[in-house]
Amino acid sequence: MSDGRLSPDPGPSPRTGPGPGTDPGPGPGPASSAPPDPAVPRGPVAAGATPPGTTLSLKSRVAVAVAAVVLVGGAVVLATALAYGRHAAREAYDRLLVGAASDIAESITIRDGTPEVDMPVSAFELLSLARKDRIAYRVIDRAGRTLTGDAAAPAPETLRDLSLYSGAFGDEPARYAAVVRRFAERGYSGPVQIIVGHTLRARQELARDIAQNALAVLGAAGAAIALFASLAVASAMRPLTDIGAALARRDPTDLTPLRAPAPREIAALRDALNAFMARLDRQLRANRDLISNAAHQLRTPLAAIRVQLEAAADDPDPARKEALLTRVHERSRAYGRLLDQLLSQGMVLHRADAIAKERMDLRDAALEIYEQSDIEVFATGLRLRLDLPDDPVTVEGDLLSLTEAGKNLLTNALRHGTPPIALGVARTGGEARLWVRDAGPGPAPGVLKRIGDRFARDGLSRDGGAPGGVPHTSSSAAGRSEGSGSMASDAVEPKVGGSTDRVSPTAASPDGACPADAPPCGATPGGAPRGGGAPQTTGAAMGGGLGLSIAQTVADNHGGRLSHGTDAAGFEIAMILPVAPA
Amino acid sequence: MRVLLVEDTTDVAETVAAYLVREGMACDVAGTEADAAAYLDVQSYDLVILDIQLPDGDGRALLRDLRRRRDGTPVLMLSANFSVESRVGSLDEGADDYLVKPFDLRELSARIRALSRRRFDRSVPEIVVGDIVLDPSAQTVRRAGTLLPVTRRELALLVLLMSNAGRIVSKGRLFEGLFSFDNADVGLNAIELYVARLRKKLAPSQVRIRTHRGLGYSIEAAADE
């Protein structure tokens, strides 16, 4: 976690309390730019220990759903089929019974006042259609006597032209039809009732047949549904498997987006994956840049420290030795500041993606910058004006990043600008401005333009940081205290790599320990005050560029921009952010 | 004055020890947590300088042990990796001050002197309002025993309000108290923002800062209302 190491001045802060006040809770530090905090267990380790669980496979889910549909649907269809089968069988065989009874009725004649039955063959042919069933028939005259047939066959309870009813045939259930034929002849006037019945085996068989067929059809349909469902699932899942396979096949460093076309539902997943990888890629790239940048930037002041130390060790003159050691001391302080800025650059890059923006008052950011730069302002002995409007200036932002950016702009002004220095917030139309002003003419135009170009491109200075030197061409630099001399020397030497000249062997030369092209720096060593008026060494100059880069990164990340301009009153640099909608 | 320096980077430890001896202090150096515990068992010190990262453990564990034994020896924590949480955390665990590496030797000796002075300088009484306790000599604010991170100006504002608890302090007076010694040119409206910051930090407490439109601000414990 590096959140605590934000101050551009690594020097110990005076005792004002436990830390920069409004630092929000435990925000994650830049993943790779900060050394791991031993007290804090790192997430990935814990998360990697147990693989995430697997839930029921999609195929099984579909299978369960299809099985449920087939089972419930099947039960309903089966019940319907059985009922229908029974109904159909009853209808068919009842007609048979009625037909046979009618045949018999037709064949009855009255002879001598007595009904006579001449059993027709057709009736038995009809009844023989139910082959396994036993048949009973009975003909009853008007007096209720059985004229012919089986007297055990039950008669209907009421006398109607046609009755269909269930009864017993011995100990078997049976179905009977009763038909009444009415005679009005001389010898016989009244009804003759013909009863025909049979057992139920054929009916049951028919019902069973119908049900069985229905069941067979149902089974076939179920199988077909299952087959098609499984095919559909397999085809629906294929794009997912494809994406998985494509990811597995990939080179571990390949974070380019997946290009394979996919159905709409899965395209959402693919796009989310792509967005995730893009974010990862951005962070990886930023971290890579940061590391190479850091290595590069830190090597230069380290080289200076080393040669100056060696020179000091060899120098027989105590006064020059003392001067060299003082320079080394200042260098190492600048080195610390640079390190802090690199960490802070890493932090803002990390937070750009990792931290959600929230509505905040930009005035709070200005105040926080003011609070955190307290020590530095105090050390420089400069007057700082804080210019805040009476009404809130609301933006969507990350307080920590905005503070970091503003602090770096302010630090640049304090180190390189001409007093008076002012920090403020303003709102013009739909834009919020967090600005820093000083009375100087600002950096050389070419330098700023290069910075703008460079940082507009990728937000990071890639090489030794020389162009980031943001040396102010202040002719009024003479008005500044110690150190401004060499600041001017940086300014007149804007060429890339110019700052590294300090590391050249001339720096180690016994006289002056100064590059020949920077005459005024000889004045620096003796009275360099602590903190304030720090000599504008390579580290500090580079820090200025890095500071701008931090501000640029934060502005970009907030959908804003960095703007600068010079007028009669001096130089102003501002972060311009969109005002949050009300 | 006897100082125990617990620091595992040998050259840093030796340099610091040599410097402290030159400054007139007796200095013992321990490279591990175990060594430090052994030193503390047999000798009492006026000050312990404690590095957080030690080869055999966390310096904070040593600090906790010390405080559990009701040993009030001032402790100055050192760390190269001081996030805000661990700062506040180590102060909570009883450290009296902290210093972030890299540091200047002069700064270190200034802190040591301040700590040893503070130990004998308990003349200024604490200011208590509700569950907020402000210690002007230690420059700390605690809510129900928990240290609140406040900046210099927030502390100044709180001192003004708390020493006039229940009374209205005008904006102008607060402004003078906060900025009169500053190299700053700040509008009166900054007071509102500072009050808002303080309110946020005091938020879970029963103490409230009330705004009296046109008059100023007052602080009071909620129970008084």
Give the span between the Cα atoms of A18 and B154, in whole angstroms.
12
Q: Residue B151 and residue A374: Cβ atoms within 8 Å? A: yes
Hey, what are B206's tokens? 């029963």
Summarised one tens digit per residue, pLDDT across range A405-463 is 898 889 888 888 888 888 999 988 889 999 999 888 877 666 565 554 444 333 333 33
Summarised one tens digit per residue, pLDDT across range B24-54 is 888 999 989 889 989 988 888 889 998 888 8
- Specify the higher pLDDT residue, B150 or B90: B150
pLDDT at position A222? 83
Beta-carbon pairs below 8 A across chains A and B: 142
CA triple A462-A466-A468, angle to 5 deg: 75
- Specify the higher pLDDT residue, A529 or B103: B103
- % pLDDT > 90, chain A: 3
Substitution target from A333, A386, A437, A481 for chain B, most B beta carbons within 10 A: A386
Parts of chain B belonging to CATH 1.10.10.10: 127-224
**Residue range A336-365: average pLDDT?**
83
pLDDT at position A487? 34
- % pLDDT > 90, chain B: 4
Hey, what are A33's tokens? 């730019």
Fill in the DSSP letter of residue B219.
E
Hey, what are A425's tokens? 């917030």
Summarised one tens digit per residue, pLDDT across range A22-74 is 444 444 434 444 444 444 444 444 444 666 778 877 778 877 888 888 889 88
Dump strand ranges (E) for B63-136. 75-79, 97-100, 127-129, 132-135
Cβ neighbours of B64 in A, within 8 Å: none
Name the band, by pLDDT with cuts 50, 70 and 90, for residue A178.
very high
pLDDT at position A446? 62
**Residue range B102-130: average pLDDT?**
79
pLDDT at position A534? 35
Give me the CATH topology for the region B127-224: Arc Repressor Mutant, subunit A (1.10.10)
Q: Residue A16 and residue B87: Cβ atoms within 8 Å? A: no
Substitution target from A1, A6, A15, A530 for chain B, most B beta carbons within 10 A: A15
- Partners of B2 in the β-ladder: B26
Give the span between the Cα atoms of A353 and A560, in whole angstroms.
15
Under CATH, to which class is B2-120 assigned? alpha beta
Summarised one tens digit per residue, pLDDT across range A309-332 is 888 888 888 888 888 888 888 888
Measured in angstroms, the CA of B82 and the nearest CA of chain A are apart by 6
A124 three-state secondary structure: helix
Residue B149: which of A5, A21, A34 has the nearest Cβ?
A21
Cβ neighbours of A370 in B, within 8 Å: 184, 186
Parts of chain B belonging to CATH 3.40.50.2300: 2-120
- Specify the higher pLDDT residue, B13 or A55: B13
Q: What is the CB-side half-sphere exposure of residue A308 using CA atoms within 13 A?
A: 27
Name the band, by pLDDT with cuts 50, 70 and 90, for residue B4.
very high
pLDDT at position A280? 85
Residue A367: which of B140, B183, B193 has the nearest Cβ?
B193
Separation of CA A174 from chain center: 72
pLDDT at position A146? 86
Domains of chain A (ranges plus CATH)? 64-208 (3.30.450), 327-578 (3.30.565.10)
pLDDT at position B181? 62
Cβ neighbours of A20 in B, within 8 Å: 84, 149, 151
**Residue range B63-89: average pLDDT?**
74
Fill in the DSSP letter of residue A29.
P
Q: Please enumerate in sequence order all residues whose Cβ is within 8 A of that of A196, keeping only pairs 6 or more positions apart, or say none.
A: A97, A100, A101, A104, A123, A127, A135, A136, A137, A176, A177, A178, A179
Buried-state track B94-127, b at ≥16 Cβ within 10 A, e below 16:
bbbbbbbbebbeeebbebbebbbebeeeeeeeeb
Long-range CB contact pairs, A577-581, < 8 A, 24+: A577/A362, A577/A395, A577/A397, A577/A431, A577/A432, A577/A433, A577/A434, A578/A395, A578/A396, A578/A430, A578/A431, A578/A432, A579/A393, A579/A394, A579/A395, A579/A427, A579/A430, A579/A431, A579/A432, A580/A359, A580/A394, A580/A395, A580/A396
Substitution target from B16, B52, B62, B100 for chain A, most A beta carbons within 10 A: B100
**Residue range A280-291: average pLDDT?**
80
- Specify the higher pLDDT residue, A379 or A364: A364
**Residue range A169-189: average pLDDT?**
87
Summarised one tens digit per residue, pLDDT across range A496-515 is 333 333 333 333 334 333 33
Dump strand ranges (E) for A392-438. 394-397, 421-428, 431-438
pLDDT at position B82? 52
Residue B139: which of A17, A388, A389 has the nearest Cβ?
A17
Residue A17: which of B102, B150, B185 has the nearest Cβ?
B150
Residue B97: which of A15, A378, A390 has the nearest Cβ?
A15
Sign of CA dihedral B67, B68, B71, B72: positive
Substitution target from B193, B194, B200 for chain A, most A beta carbons within 10 A: B193
| Closest among A503, A495, A496, A491 to A462, alpha carbons compared | A496
Cβ neighbours of B197 in A, within 8 Å: 21-22, 364, 367
Give the span between the Cα atoms of B22 and B25, in whole angstroms.
7
pLDDT at position A30? 41
Q: Residue A15 and residue B111: Cβ atoms within 8 Å? A: yes
Cβ neighbours of B189 in A, within 8 Å: 388-390
